[in-house]
Amino acid sequence: MELACRKCNLIISQGNTCPVCNVSNLTSKWSGYIAVLNVEKSDIAKRMEIKINGAYAISING
């Protein structure tokens, strides 16, 4: 089960620290999934305040 960062929703496939927030505030209880390939052009990225490309959980449940 992959983990997602509670702060920025980034899905972490390796290790247990978020490379964006630099914290280990991760959870396995997330749902939904979006891949942001170009933060500059993605409306979803703007709405979710995503700053770097990557895979993000849409909602964090716990």
Residues that bind Zn ion (CB under 5 A): 5, 7-8, 10, 18, 20-21
Place of tokens 């939904």: 32
CA–CA separation, 57 and 34 (whole Å):
6
- Rounded Cα distance, 59 and 14, in Å: 20
Smallest distance, Å, CB 40 to Zn ion?
20
Q: For Zn ion, give the closer residue by CB, 17 or 42.
A: 17
The region that residue 21 occupies, defined by phi over 0 for left and psi between -120 and 50 for alpha, beta otherwise, is alpha
**Least distance (Å) between residue 43 CB and Zn ion:** 21
Nearer to Zn ion, 22 or 38 (CB): 22
Tell me which residue has its CB nearest to Zn ion. Answer: 5
